[in-house]
Amino acid sequence: MVVENRHAPDYDVNLLELLHSIPGEQFSIDQISDFISSRIDGLFVRHYLRIRLFYHSSRGRIANPKRKHYRVTTPNESTRLIVDDCWAEFIQNAEIFQENRTTIADLSGKIWRILQIQDDGENDYVELVSVESETTATITFEHFSNAITRLNACGGLMERPDRRHSHIATFCALLPRLQFDENGYTVVTKITEPDTTSHQPMTSVDGTKREQGEWNIRRKRAIHEFDFEPQAMDSEHRILLTRERLERHELLVDFVWFEILGDSFDRLEGEFDLFSKNRTTPRILWEMKTIQSGDDADEKRQVRKAVSQLLYYDFKLGETGIHPLIACFEHEISSTLQRFLASCNIHCCWKYGSRLIFSNQLPTPSCLARNR
């Protein structure tokens, strides 16, 4: 009896091998199905392939520029959108549309308006209502983030960043940088190309400037470049908290740099906290995060920042979804957030005395198993 194969690595390894075989080439889902079905044991399940395609597309690891066609990502700095900034603008404009009772026409001809903007305890969400039928549709931060991630992965041009017509139309109506072209594709308006002839300091997702370092030379970050924003109101207390947090962050980088990696790896600093490589592994990206003791909100915030930074750096360097991404913490984080990082294919680890402990949610990268 032939058993259905629903083993994710079997699909993922072959999927990425095919898409990376000809960078920029768009492969149809039929081509992908034929390639994978001939290379796996057991019964190939086309529906499960769709699930894996959706998984990688929603994380920006592969691009879905038009229905049933996929390719490796094509980073484009002139069209890249920052999710949190766009979400803030989206909610602000939704409030204006709601107050003015402005309507939005989707691609199927239905007319929608903003019914309400609510808070689910973690993020706002927007509820739309159809003018004709009074049916509703909800846009959450997750819907929005997935759509923006897919647009970024496609270089700012794709057929449908979201499967719902009402969502696509609302994105374009509320975000000035999004529009439809003559073919109905969602297009990101380009910003002025940066001047690549002059030397510009690297800027992280959080806006902190940091020069790219030299291989195996460790330089600590200046306090004015650190992005921690204490909640304390007293200015002197804020400065003390920021300095203390920075020192802990730099000690964590030092620990991994010297004690864990040592001379076994080449190491580099840049907009990322740490880039390491050796003969067997050409790239490992690390993001170090400190967390205020007992502050659950800060823990969640730092984990989300680590995810956005690591996925962006991986995306920017190319060949996404192949090399290990690691979020490293001062101490163990909650099991829920460990599972969340694993769902993003990001390894989670923390300092424990003189050791580095990896979460059991994902296998420890083989190149680091002996360095723990």
Domain boundaries, position 268: 212-371
Is this model's pTM higher than 0.85 or not?
Answer: no
Q: Are residues 112 and 174 in the same domain?
A: yes
Q: Are residues 248 and 176 in the same domain?
A: no
Task: Write the single-letter amino acid at 74.
Answer: T
Q: Is residue 204 part of a domain?
A: no
Q: Are residues 220 and 366 in the same domain?
A: yes
**DSSP H helical ranges for 321-371:** 335-343
- As a whole number of angstroms, the distance between CA 346 and CA 286 comes to 10
Q: Are residues 173 and 254 in the same domain?
A: no
Q: Are residues 58 and 100 in the same domain?
A: no
- As a whole number of angstroms, the distance between CA 193 and CA 12 comes to 34
- Measured in degrees and rounded to the nearest 5, phi and psi for residue 14 equal -70, -35
- As a whole number of angstroms, the distance between CA 54 and CA 64 comes to 9
For 285, the 3-state DSSP assignment is strand
Q: How far is CA 357 from CA 247, 259, 267, in A?
A: 21, 13, 20
Q: Is residue 194 part of a domain?
A: no
Q: Are residues 366 and 237 in the same domain?
A: yes
Q: Are residues 60 and 87 in the same domain?
A: no
Q: Tell me whether residue 187 is exposed, middle or buried, using C-beta atoms within 10 angstroms of its C-beta: 0 to 12, 13 to 18, 19 or more.
A: middle
Q: Are residues 257 and 361 in the same domain?
A: yes
Q: Are residues 54 and 130 in the same domain?
A: no
Structural domains of the chain, count: 3
Q: How far is CA 296 from CA 109, 203, 227, in A?
A: 45, 27, 18
End of a domain among 121, 156, 188?
Answer: 188
Per-residue pLDDT of the chain (372 residues; tens, 9 = 90+): 789 999 999 999 999 999 999 988 999 999 999 999 999 999 999 999 999 999 999 888 899 998 899 999 987 888 999 998 899 999 989 999 998 889 999 888 899 999 999 887 778 899 999 999 989 999 999 999 999 999 999 999 999 899 899 999 999 999 989 998 888 899 999 875 444 343 333 333 333 456 678 787 777 665 444 455 444 444 555 567 777 888 899 999 999 999 999 999 999 998 889 999 999 999 999 999 999 888 888 899 899 999 999 999 999 898 888 899 999 999 999 999 999 999 999 999 999 999 999 999 999 998 897 766
| Extended strands (E) in 166-262 | 178-180, 186-188, 202-203, 209-210
Q: Is residue 202 part of a domain?
A: no
Q: Are residues 260 and 361 in the same domain?
A: yes
CATH number at residue 22: 1.10.10
Q: Are residues 35 and 98 in the same domain?
A: no
DSSP conformation class of 262: G
Q: Is residue 197 part of a domain?
A: no
